[in-house]
């Protein structure tokens, strides 16, 4: 038995399914999840002392790679000062200012502790601001485990085969309208029928929870238009894309401005952080300025602010995202090259520092039904083969991959060589 297997057995005695977040359980790929004890740069080291090139980056936050010295120094210094006061700090203003500078659609921003809290708060705010109940989301988009948003959600929910969770009252779910991603016709039709009842559209501007699906030209622009026509709040869930697909997120990359933005992952530099913000006029409805209640014991925690700010400052260095996008493109193209060399049909897609690959004959994947038509069994074999070769991909056919600044040319070459070797066995 490996150390990971023993640890997983022990974990299952006390933790549901042995994990604190379902996709970690490897149910989407089979086998035992690896337990990690250490990470540095582009690598993870498991309890059996195996090294892996990491394409998950803690599900997105570790954009600089693991163990970045700047983050470690900032955290050590803050630990000596105090780990939390439950009262305002200058650090929070510094963080808020930085976020507003990097994402110009954000005029006021509130810190929270996770992406889920961020999206949950944007939906409540949009409902409170408009006085409407209905919201529109898209099939395969995941916005955290918020009751209203866990309807036809992606990734973890898809991996487990339960797109809708029990425990969500039907009377609440009925206010969530689910439409098809990248299909403006369905959006326009829905708004013709009931646009004046819809508080918000919430969308992943690049879908990263049904693998990686960039928006087709005109989709985000179309959403902006219908929201303007009907007085509906446009919410970009940039928990995954924020500070990753470009310094200004997907809204910076595609030039479409939402009313509200949810942030998470990179903004915390590896610590538990989320944030939401947007137009001043809407954000002024949040307590204590306005009547829409929102709060948090640990929100704006100084350690989290330190790790996050240090990350945001580091990724603001000129050329950071260009370099990271080049690395991502090299991984993306290398996977395709490996597939072509071995005659495996594969479609690769990316946006900035997010990428995805689909075992499919389709030349591009833009819709949820195409994602569901991909060869998941082949993905599972590929995943397990890559793991044996020391490459740690997301353990689900429905998750995007992430690159980090720590990834070297050699790491990418090793990844592509491993992919060729594994694909030859599929």
367 vs 356: CA distance, rounded Å: 14
10 or 21: whose CB is closer to ligand PLP?
21
Q: CA angle, corner 312, sides to 356 and 242, nearest 5?
A: 35
Among 78, 105, 119, 310, binds ligand PLP (CB under 6 A): 119
- CB 310 → ligand PLP: shortest distance, Å? 19
- The answer to whether 222 and 185 have CB atoms below 8 angstroms apart is no
Distance of CA 99 to the CA centre of its chain: 17
Among 237, 259, 375, 411, binds ligand PLP (CB under 6 A): 237
34 or 267: whose CB is closer to ligand PLP?
267
Based on the residue annotation, tell me whether 279 is a catalytic residue of this protein.
no
The one catalytic residue among 46, 54, 68, 237: 237
Based on the residue annotation, tell me whether 265 is a catalytic residue of this protein.
yes
What DSSP state is assigned to residue 40?
Answer: E
236 vs 248: CA distance, rounded Å: 12
Stretch that binds ligand PLP, among 129-137, 202-210, 351-359, 379-387 (CB under 6 A): 202-210
- The answer to whether 141 and 147 have CB atoms below 8 angstroms apart is no
Strands 176-179 and 233-237: unpaired
Based on the residue annotation, tell me whether 142 is a catalytic residue of this protein.
yes
Among 4, 78, 105, 116, binds ligand PLP (CB under 6 A): 116
284 vs 288: CA distance, rounded Å: 9
Among 56, 177, 198, 240, binds ligand PLP (CB under 6 A): 240
236 or 359: whose CB is closer to ligand PLP?
236
- CB 222 → ligand PLP: shortest distance, Å? 20
The one catalytic residue among 129, 142, 181, 254: 142
264 binds ligand PLP (CB under 6 A): yes
207 or 226: whose CB is closer to ligand PLP?
207
275 or 419: whose CB is closer to ligand PLP?
275
142 binds ligand PLP (CB under 6 A): yes
* Residue 129, helix vs strand vs coil: helix
* Residue 199, helix vs strand vs coil: strand
User: Per-residue x/- marks for ligand PLP, 70-109, CB under 6 A?
Assistant: ----------------------------------------
Q: CA angle, corner 25, sides to 23 and 30, nearest 5?
A: 105
Q: CA angle, corner 294, sides to 243 and 225, nearest 5?
A: 55
116 or 404: whose CB is closer to ligand PLP?
116
H or E element: which one contains 135? Answer: strand 134-138
What DSSP state is assigned to residue 176?
Answer: E
Tokens at residue 29, please? 């790929």
Give the phi and the psi of residue 154 in degrees, each rounded to 5.
-100, -155
> Which residues of the chain form contacts with ligand PLP (CB under 6 A)?
59, 114-116, 119, 142-144, 204, 208-209, 237, 239-240, 264, 274
Catalytic site residues? 142, 237, 265
């Amino acid at each position: 038995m490996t150390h990971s297997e023993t640890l997983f057995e022990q974990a299952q005695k006390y933790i549901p399914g042995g994990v604190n977040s379902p996709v970690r359980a490897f149910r989407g790929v089979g086998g035992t999840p690896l337990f990690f004890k250490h990470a540095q740069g582009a690598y993870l080291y498991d309890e059996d002392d195996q090294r892996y090139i990491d394409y998950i980056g803690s599900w997105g936050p570790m954009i600089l790679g693991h163990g970045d010295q700047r983050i470690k120094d900032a955290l050590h210094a803050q630990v000596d000062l105090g780990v939390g006061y439950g009262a305002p700090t200058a650090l929070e203003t510094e963080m808020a200012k930085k976020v507003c500078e990097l994402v110009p659609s954000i005029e006021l921003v509130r810190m929270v502790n996770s992406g889920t809290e961020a999206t949950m708060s944007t939906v409540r705010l949009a409902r409170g601001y408009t006085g409407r109940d209905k919201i529109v989301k898209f099939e395969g988009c995941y916005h955290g485990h918020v009751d209203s948003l866990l309807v036809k959600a992606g990734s973890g929910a898809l991996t487990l085969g339960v797109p809708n969770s029990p425990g969500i009252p039907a009377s609440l779910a009925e206010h969530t309208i689910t439409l098809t991603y990248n299909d403006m016709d369905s959006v326009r039709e829905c708004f013709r029928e009931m646009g004046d009842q819809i508080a918000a559209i919430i969308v992943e501007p690049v879908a990263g929870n049904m693998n990686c699906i960039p928006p087709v030209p005109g989709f985000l622009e179309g959403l902006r238009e219908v929201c303007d026509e009907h007085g509906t709040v446009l919410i970009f869930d940039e928990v995954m894309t924020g500070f990753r697909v470009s310094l200004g997120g997907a809204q910076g990359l595609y030039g479409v401005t939402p009313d509200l933005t949810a942030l998470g992952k990179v903004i915390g530099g590896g610590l538990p952080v989320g944030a939401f913000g947007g137009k001043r006029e809407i954000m002024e409805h949040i307590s204590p300025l306005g009547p829409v209640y929102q709060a948090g014991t640990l929100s704006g925690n100084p350690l989290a602010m330190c790790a996050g700010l240090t990350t945001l400052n580091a990724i603001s260095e000129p050329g950071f995202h260009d370099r990271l996008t080049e690395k991502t493109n090299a991984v993306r193209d290398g996977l395709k090259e490996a597939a072509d060399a071995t005659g495996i049909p594969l479609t690769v897609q990316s946006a900035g520092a997010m990428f995805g690959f689909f075992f499919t004959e389709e030349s591009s994947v833009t819709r949820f039904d195409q994602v569901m038509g991909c060869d998941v069994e082949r993905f599972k074999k590929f995943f397990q083969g890559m793991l044996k070769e020391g490459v740690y991909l997301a353990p689900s056919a429905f998750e995007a991959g992430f690159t980090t600044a720590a990834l070297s040319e050699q790491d990418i070459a090793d990844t592509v060589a491993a992919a060729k070797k594994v694909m030859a066995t599929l």
